[in-house]
């Protein structure tokens, strides 16, 4: 009895962390230094990067040599990095508010009471 096996190449998805510096390669082969805005989404496998606000797969990304030790910030100065972090936090709160709108309580509209007509 001969058994057949289905051999598949095992592919491990690369997960990038928030603020990792990466090199993005577009479809034309152009390479861009950019950084990760949000961690890699485990459901879709896409990583949200700063370059053109794109969501890309890990095949188009590689970890930048500056980021390999894990102790780098994605911008040249800490002020810009902190400003970006605060803006990101602000927009996250705005997006969350859109997803979970608060209930609005309306007061009763006053009406004029009319006399009974006979």
Q: Are 62 and 73 in contact (CB under 8 A)?
A: no
Over range 43-54, report the average pLDDT.
Answer: 89
Number of independent structural domains in the chain:
1
- For residue 14, tell me if it sits in a domain: no
Instruction: Look up the pTM and report it.
Output: 0.60
Q: What is the DSSP string of 63-96?
A: E-GGGTTS---SSSSHHHHHHHHHHHHHHHHHHH
Dist. CA 118–CA 105, nearest whole Å: 38
pLDDT band of 116, cuts 50, 70, 90 = confident
Q: Are 60 and 22 in contact (CB under 8 A)?
A: no
- For residue 83, tell me if it sits in a domain: yes
Query: Residue 7: is its pLDDT beyond 60?
Result: no
Q: Are 54 and 46 in contact (CB under 8 A)?
A: no
The per-residue pLDDT for 25 is: 94
The per-residue pLDDT for 5 is: 42
- For residue 9, tell me if it sits in a domain: no
- For residue 4, tell me if it sits in a domain: no
């Amino acid at each position: 009895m001969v058994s057949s096996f289905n051999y598949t190449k095992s592919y491990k998805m690369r997960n990038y962390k928030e603020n990792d510096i990466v090199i993005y390669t577009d479809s034309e082969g152009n390479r861009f230094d950019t950084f990760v805005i949000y961690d890699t989404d485990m459901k879709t496998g896409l990583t949200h990067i700063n370059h053109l606000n794109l969501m890309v797969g890990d095949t188009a990304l590689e970890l930048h040599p500056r980021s390999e030790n894990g102790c780098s910030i994605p911008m040249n100065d800490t002020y810009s990095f902190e400003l970006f972090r605060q803006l990101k936090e602000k927009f996250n709160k705005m997006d969350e508010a859109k997803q979970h709108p608060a209930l609005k309580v309306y007061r009763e509209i006053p009406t004029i009471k009319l006399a009974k007509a006979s």
